[in-house]
Each structure stands twice: as C-alpha cells, then as structure tokens.
Amino acid sequence: CTEYQDLVLVTSTRELREAEMRHKIACLISIEGGHSIDSSLPALRMFYQLGVRSMSLTHTCNTPWAESSSKLYNVFQRQGNSLTGFGKAVVEEMNRLGMMVDLSHTSWATAWAVLNHS
C-alpha cells in the first residue's frame, strides 16, 4: 500500500474510519483458506501479529475442522459435523482478536454453525 498514495493499510476500525475521512482506499490483509494456519491457534495469532485481520475458514476444500461449499473437490463430505470443536475454538479466537470470520467458500451448515456459535 505504501507505493500508492490512494491506498492505506488498515488493521483496526479506527484506522478504517481515518482512511475514509482522508478519502483513501483502505486495504486489509486476509487469508483465503483456514488451511493456512495448519490447525494451530498459535499460527492464527502469529498471522494476526503480522497484520492479518480476516480469514476464510475454507476455500476449495475442507479443512480438518470446517466444511467447504465446494463439492467438486470434496468427495468425502462431512455429515453433520460441519464445524468441529477445534473449528469453534478458531472462531472464538478470531472473535477475541477482532478478526473478521469470512464465511465465503464454507458450506451452508458450516456458515450456520459459525453464526450460531458466535
């Protein structure tokens, strides 16, 4: 973002509001696919410390703890276990940190489980 005058990296709602007041385009760092944290809450916290403020729980495939909406790559769909106990812990930690839980690419069951748990 620093090379472009119209863009500003934001990591908080305060910074987002400041960007809007300055007529800047706010950018935030997001992870597409919870597989990036390798089923590790410390890894999630590390990404947060590096500036990540949003993560989608799945992408084109299931994670060990959340079900993807993609049927093409998911021959073995979870049945009734769309969000595991660890998946709930991920959502809780993201909420605690103030990260956005991106539900795109999750199955309907996973999205509802997250909404009900949050």
Q: Which two tokens mark 22?
A: 């300055």
Domain boundaries, the chain: 29-117
Q: Residue for token digits 């119209």?
A: 6
The packing angle between helices 85-97 and 108-117, to 10°, is 60
pLDDT of residue 31: 97
Quick one: which of 34, 20, 24 has its CA closest to 104?
Answer: 34
Q: What is the model's pLDDT at position 61?
A: 85
Neighbours of 71 (CB within 10 A): 9
DSSP element (H, E) containing 93? helix 85-97
Q: Please state the rounded mean pLDDT for residues 47-70.
A: 93
Please give the Cα distance from 111 to 105 (Å, whole number): 9
pLDDT band with cut points at 50, 70 and 90 for residue 69: confident
Q: How far apart are CA 46 and CA 4, in angstroms?
A: 27
On the question of pLDDT at 78 being above 60, the answer is: no
Q: Which amino acid is at 34?
A: G
Its pTM stands at: 0.87
